[in-house]
Structure 1
Amino acid sequence: MAPSDPSFDEIISKIQAATDITAVTKTLAPYLNNLNDPVFAAQPNGQVDPLDALDPATHSFAYLYFLVHRCKASHGFDHALLAKVWAFVTTCDGEQVRLASHKAMSFAEALVKVATETQQPIIAIKPLAVFIQRLQASPGQLTMIHPLLAKTCLLAQSVKDILPILDNDISDVKPQQTHINYKDFLLYHYYGGMIYAFLKKFERAVEFFKLAVSAPAEVASAIQIEAHKKYVLTSLLQYGRVLPLPKYIASAVQRTIKVQCVAYADFATAYEKKSNSAIRTELEKAKPIFVRDKNFGLAKQCMEALHRRNIQDLTRTYLTLSIENITSLIGLGSEPDGARRVEGIIVRMIESGVIFATISHEHAGGMVSFLDDPNQHNNTITMDMINAQIQKATAITAKLSAMDQAISSMPAYFNKQGSHGPEHSGYPMDESDYSMHMGYDNYVDEASSSSHKKQRTESDSGKRGRRSR
C-alpha cells in the first residue's frame, strides 16, 4: 500500500458502515473506485485478511473487489481460495454485485484463467454457473459471463452444469444494466448451439444458431457465418431440410452467407433429394471445406440421419421387410457390414420412439414388421399439449420482438470499423474464439464415436416405439 492510501482498518470500517444498497451505491462504490489496485491486491502483514473480515453475503460489493485481485494473483487453486470463491458465489447479494458488473466479469475471467492454466477448466464451471444465477435479475437475463461459461464448458467437455442456464431462453437483454455487448449475445448462442449439438439435442441447437445468425446487423459477423454453417447441418439432422431463416434477417448477413457458405448450400440441396449417391458425391466434394471448418463430424452424422429418414419413409409403404431388403432400399446394400448397421439403426429408432416396429430372427437375416402408432392423439392430454405449445410460441414471439429492439440498442452493434466486405466482417472471432471453433469437430467426433460404441447389435422383438406419420 502507498503511504497515501488509507489503512486496512479504515477501509474495512468504511465497508462495514455501508449497511444498505443505497449506501453501497452512493458512498462505498465511489470510495472503492478511487482506491489504487494495490490496496486490494496486498496481503496485510500481521492483520486480518480482508476476505476473512468481510461477510460475502453482507459485503458482496467490496468482497468482490478483493476476491478479483486474489484470483488474479493466484497461480493455482488452494483449498482456502476455493472455499472463499465458493462462499462468495453461493451467498453474494445479486443486487450489490450487479452494481459492479465489470468486476464480476474480471472475477469470472480470473477464475477461468487460473483453472485453465492448471489444466483443470472444469473447476471453474460450477462456481460460474452458480454465480450467473446469483447475478441475474431474472432467469432469462443474459450476462457477460454467459458466453465465458459456455466456452469453458466446451473446453472442459463438461456441460451438465450449464444446461439449466441454457434451457432458460434469453428474454431479458438490458445492456444498460448488465453491460453486455453484441458479441456476448452472438457468442453465447453460438457456443450454446455447439453444446446442444454435442448432446444431439438438434432442435435446440438449430434455435440457438438461428438466434445468432438472425441478430440485427449492418455488417455480417464472422460468428454469424460460422453459426450459419452449423445451422445448416443441424437443421438437416433434425428436420431433413434447412429451415428457412426469418424474413427479418439482415440483408448484409444474407449476402455474406451466399458468398461464404456455397458448399453448405450445395450439400443441403443434395441432401433434401434423399439420394445416397448424390449426397456422397457432394460430401466428398465439400469434405476439404467441412474439414477446414471443423464441421465434418456433423456432416457425417447427416448420413446416418438420412438412413433413418429413408427407413421412416418405408414404414409408410410396407408392413414387413427383411433387413436385407431395407439395407438395399436405403442404399447400403453394397457395404460389407450394411445389414448390421441397418439393424442397429432400426433398434435405436425403436428404442427412441421414432418408429413402431418389431424385429424377428426366425427368418435368416431378420424380418422387420412395421406397426401402427396406438396413440390416436385425440385425447385431452394431446389438446392440452397443443395449447401449451401455442401459448409458448406466442410468448416467445413477444420476447423475440423485445430482444430484437434491445440488441439493436447495443453500442456499436452496427460498427463498420475495419469492414470492407465479407472477409473483413464486423465482430470477427478473436484467437480464443477461433481455437474453440477449430477444436469442435474432434469433440463431435468423440461424442459420435462414443454413441456408436454403445450401439446394440441384437434387438428385442418386443421392443416398440412410436411410428412417425
Structure 2
Amino acid sequence: MNLNMNSMESVVAQIQGLSSNSSDITQLHNFLKQSEELLHSDFSRLLSSLAELDPSIHSLGFLYILEACISFPVAKEHVSELLVSVARFINSCSTEQIQLAPNKFISVCKKFKDHVFGLETPIRGVAPMLTAIRKLQSSPEQLTTLHADFLLLCLLAKCYKTGFSVLEDDIYEIDQPREFFLYCYYGGMVCIGQKQFRKALELLHNVVTAPMSTLNAIAVEAYKKYILVSLIHLGQFSTSFPKYTSSVAQRNLKNFSQPYLELSNSYGTGRISELETFVQTNKEKFESDNNLGLVMQVVSSMYKRNIQRLTQTYLTLSLQDIANTVQLRDPKQAEMHVLQMIEDGEIYATINQKDGMVRFLEDPEQYKTCGMIEHIDSSIKRLMAVSKKLTSMDELMSCDPMYLGKVGRERQRFDFDDFDGVPQKFTI
C-alpha cells in the first residue's frame, strides 16, 4: 500500500477520534494493527504526524507511529531531536494505553537506548528508562526486559544510586532467563559502584547458582566478580558451590577463573607483599577482564582484614606497630586506615593523637535504641511478607499441570523401594 497524505491524515484522524474511552481504544488498537504496513512505508510523513498528536491523550496511536518512525535509519543530525520526542512520550504517555502494546513500547525503548549509546551520552537515557520500567511493570515484583538496559545505562553514566533504587524491589516474576542473568550481573556491578557489597554478593550469587543447561559468558564474568567481592566483603572465599547450583556451573566455572582462585589463595595467607606480587604478575589478565580496579580494592581490603585481626589480640597498639604489622608505609597511613574503618563501622576504636596510641573497643550497640527497634521491626515485616509470597507461589506451583507432569516423569526414574522417603535430589 502506498502512503499518501490522505491515508496518513486518515490514520491521525482515527487516533484523535478513538482515544477517549476503553471501548474506542480497543477499536483503535485493531485499526492500528491493520495499518502497520502503511505506517512503515514512508518516514517523511511520520514525524509531521507526531506533531499533531498529544502523547498523554493519544498514547497508543503515538506509540504505533513512533515505533514505525524509530525503525527507519535516522541521520545523525536528527537523532537528538528524535530522542527528545521519545523521552517526552515515555514521560507523558498513558500507562493503560501503552500496556495494550507492550512489545512495541519495549521496541521503542530499546532503540532509544541504542541511539543514546551511539551518541555516547548514556545519562540522557537513565531517567526516561526508569520511567519506562515503572509504566511497563504490572507490579514492582515483575522483572521487565528493560531492567538490564536501564542498569547498563546507569553503569555507563555512573548513576549508581539511581540504579540501586530498582534493586531494592523483590523480584518474583521473570519473563526471560537471559534478562534475569543480565539484571543480576549489571545490578551486582551497580552495587559495587555504591560500595553495597552485601547486595552485590547476593545478585552475583544468583547468577552463579541460577539454572543453566549450558555455561554462558555472563555466569563466567559474574563468578570472577563474585570471588573478588567475597574477598572484599567477607575476607574469604569458598570454592564449594551450594547444592542447588547447576552441574554445568559446578563443572566448568572454576576452569575459566583460575587466576581469581589463585588470587583468593594468596589473599588467604594474609601476606600483603605476596598478594601485591601476584597482582602485578597477572595485571594484564585482570585488566583485560576490566576487573583491575576491583582487584586493587581486594588488595586494599587486606590491610583492613589484618587490622581487624589485631583487634582480636590487642586492647591498645601504637600506630607505628600497626603500620609495621600490616606492612603500611608509615604511622600516618595506618592512622588513615584506622579512621576510615571507624567511620565505616568496621572496627570500634579511639586514637590518642598525643602519643599515637589506638585503643580498641567493644561494639557499643545495645540493640535498644528507637532506630534499631524500627530496623528490626521492618526486617521482621519484610521476612513475613516474603514468607507469605513464597507460600502462595508454592501453592500455585503445586497446582500447575506442567510442573506436575514434569515431576511425574522424574519420579518414574527412581526406584522408591530403595529410599526411606523421597529422593534427595532430582531435576525439576
- Normalised-by-shorter TM-score class: 0.7 to 0.9
1:245-256 → structure 2 map (5 Å cutoff) = 245-256=241-252
- Going from structure 1 to structure 2, the CA distance change for 1:254 and 1:358 (only over 3 Å counts) comes to same
Match of residue 96 from structure 2: 95
Q: Aligned partners of 1:160 and 1:77: how far apart in 2?
A: 31
Answer whether contact 2:122 2:153 (CA < 8 A) is retained: yes
Deviation at 1:102, TM superposition (A): 2.3
Contact 1:5 1:35 in 2 (8 A): no
Q: CA deviation at 1:225?
A: 1.0
Partner of 1:350: 342
Contact 2:231 2:264 in 1 (8 A): yes
1:392 and 2:382 equivalent?
A: yes
| Matched residues, number | 390
- Structure 1, unaligned runs of 5 or more: 176-180, 410-469
CA distance in 2, matches of 1:278, 1:23: 73
Q: Distance in 2 between matches of 1:120 and 1:379?
A: 46
Shift of 1:191: 1.1
Mean Cα deviation higher: 36-45 or 349-358: 36-45
Provide the TM-score with structure 2 as the length reference.
0.80
With the length of structure 1 as denominator, give the TM-score of the two structures.
0.74
Q: Distance in 2 between matches of 1:85 and 1:226?
A: 33
Deviation track 1:4-58 (CA, whole Å, cap 9, x = no partner) reads: 8971232123323254445545x3334323334562553449xx93323333233
Shift, 1:388, TM fit:
3.9
Q: Which has the higher contact order (CA 8 A, sep 6+)?
A: 1
Contact 1:68–1:110, Cα closer than 8 Å, also in 2: no
> How far off is 1:325 after superposition?
0.2
Q: Identity over aligned residues, as a percent?
A: 32
1:268-288 deviations in Å (ceiling 9; x for gaps): 233234333453454345444
Change in CA separation of 1:370 and 1:130 when aligned onto 2, cut-off 3 Å: same
Change in CA separation of 1:115 and 1:400 when aligned onto 2, cut-off 3 Å = farther
Q: Does 1:191 align with 2:189?
A: no
CA RMSD of aligned residues (A): 3.1
Unaligned runs of 5+ in 2: 403-428
User: Aligned to 1:106, what secondary structure does the other structure show?
Assistant: helix
Counterpart residue number, 1:223:
218
Q: 1:260 to 1:393 in 2, by over 3 A?
A: farther
Q: Are residue 377 (structure 1) and residue 367 (structure 2) matched? A: yes
Distance across 1 between alignment mates of 2:92 and 2:247: 46
Equivalent-residue separation in structure 1 for 2:243 and 2:383 (angstroms): 17
TM-fit CA distance, 1:215? 1.7
> Once the 2 structures are TM-superposed, how far is the Cα of residue 302 of structure 1 from its aligned partner?
0.9
Determine the structure 1 residue equivalent to 2:353.
361
* 2:302 matched residue in structure 1: 306
> Using the alignment, how far apart are the partners of 2:309 and 2:245 within structure 1?
33
Tell me if structure 1 keeps the 8 A contact 2:241–2:250: no
Equivalent runs, 1:198-347 vs 2, <5 Å: 198-242=193-237, 245-332=241-328, 337-347=329-339
What SS does structure 2 have at the residue aligned with 1:124? helix
Q: Residues 35, 126 of structure 1: CA spacing in aligned structure 2 closer, same or farther, 3 A cutoff?
A: same
Contact between 1:125 and 1:149, CA under 8 Å: does it hold in 2?
yes
Of structures 1 and 2, the larger Rg is shown by 2
Q: Residues 261 and 397 (structure 1 numbering): CA distance in 2 closer, same or farther, change over 3 Å? A: farther
Distance (Å, rounded) in 2 between the aligned partners of 1:86 and 1:272: 50
Aligned CA distance change for structure 1 residues 246 and 60 (closer, same or farther; 3 Å):
farther
Q: Distance in 1 between matches of 2:388 and 2:138?
A: 19
Q: Deviations over 1:182-234 (max 9, x none)?
A: 22111121111111112221111111111222221111211111111101111
**Contact kept? 1:210, 1:245, Cα under 8 Å:** no
Residues 282/132 of structure 1: CA separation in 2 closer, same or farther (3 Å cut): same
1:116 partner amino acid: F
Equivalent residue number for residue 54 of structure 1: 53
Structure 2: which amino acid aligns with 1:351?
Answer: E
| Residues 183 and 309 of structure 1: CA distance in aligned 2, closer, same or farther (over 3 Å) | same
SS at match of 1:321: strand
Distance verdict in 2 for CA 1:276–1:50, change over 3 Å:
same
Match of 2:423 in 1: none
Counterparts in 2 of 1:397 and 1:224: CA distance versus 1, 3 Å: farther
CA–CA separation in structure 2 for the residues paired with 1:247 and 1:55:
55
